[in-house]
Amino acid sequence: MPLFRRRTMVNRQADGTYTVEFPDHIRQLLVGLSRQLDGALDNDDDPSMARLFPTAYANDAEKDAGYQVFARGELIEHRREAIELLTKTAEKDSLEEDELMAWMHVVNDVRLVLGTVLDVSEDSDGVELDHPQADLHELYHVLGAVLAEIVDGLSEGLPDDAELDNEMPVDLGDDDIHDITDLDLSDLDNDLPNNDPDDA
């Protein structure tokens, strides 16, 4: 166990609520991205949404199509409930567990979409500052840092609590993050990598 722990931004209180100390620009970023995600959920043809609606039956297209018809609407409804809860509570400094869980789900969903756009995995290395998608990669790591804080906070007090990596991918208090708060996810499909084997 480390002698000194870094200051965390999400902490569980004795009454079961959670204090949330994300700076305003991070909260504004989450609200903006959440609203963009909400607007994209009904787009069946958007390849960047693929990880949010994964294939259930990879070897049976007909069976999978039936599953998607049955399950997609329910998945969208749950995601929109989480988005609504995040946007309603974005300015609060104390959250109930269900509210913080909603934050976690929305941040994870946006990060999955962005990861699809960038074609990254958890083991992907960073990119140079002059990379054409450097801002998007920074946003991906910002969302990863936010998600790690939330998960760390939710795990406080649980039996056999596993320690998360204490190294933050970015400094969430850095005002330079303002530069990526205006990114529009609606344009990200243009940046999707070409995975068509016929074009290789």
Exposure pattern of 133-148 as b/e (b: 16+ CB <10 Å)?
Answer: beebbbbbbbbbbbbb
Distance between CA atoms of residues 171 and 138, nearest Å:
11
Tell me the pLDDT of the chain averaged across its residues.
78
On whether residue 195 sits in a domain, the answer given is no
pLDDT band, very low/low/confident/very high, at 170 (cuts 50, 70, 90): very low
On whether residue 4 sits in a domain, the answer given is no
Six token digits for residue 139: 């946003």
Bigger pLDDT: 85 or 123?
Answer: 85
Q: What predicted TM-score, i.e. pTM, was given to this entire model?
A: 0.74
Six token digits for residue 197: 């084997």
On whether residue 199 sits in a domain, the answer given is no
- Strand 10-12: give its sheet, edge to edge: 10-12, 18-20, 94-95
Question: How does DSSP classify residue 14?
Answer: T
Q: Report the range out of 2-11, 89-98, 187-196 with the highest average pLDDT.
A: 89-98
On whether residue 173 sits in a domain, the answer given is yes
pLDDT band, very low/low/confident/very high, at 150 (cuts 50, 70, 90): very high
On whether residue 175 sits in a domain, the answer given is yes
On whether residue 25 sits in a domain, the answer given is yes
Q: 31-81, pLDDT tens digit by residue? A: 999 999 999 998 878 888 888 887 888 888 888 888 878 888 899 999 999
Domain that holds residue 143: 10-189
At residue 121, does pLDDT exceed 80?
no
Identify the weakest region by mean pLDDT among 35-49, 113-127, 147-161.
113-127
On whether residue 156 sits in a domain, the answer given is yes
The structural domain count of the chain equals 1
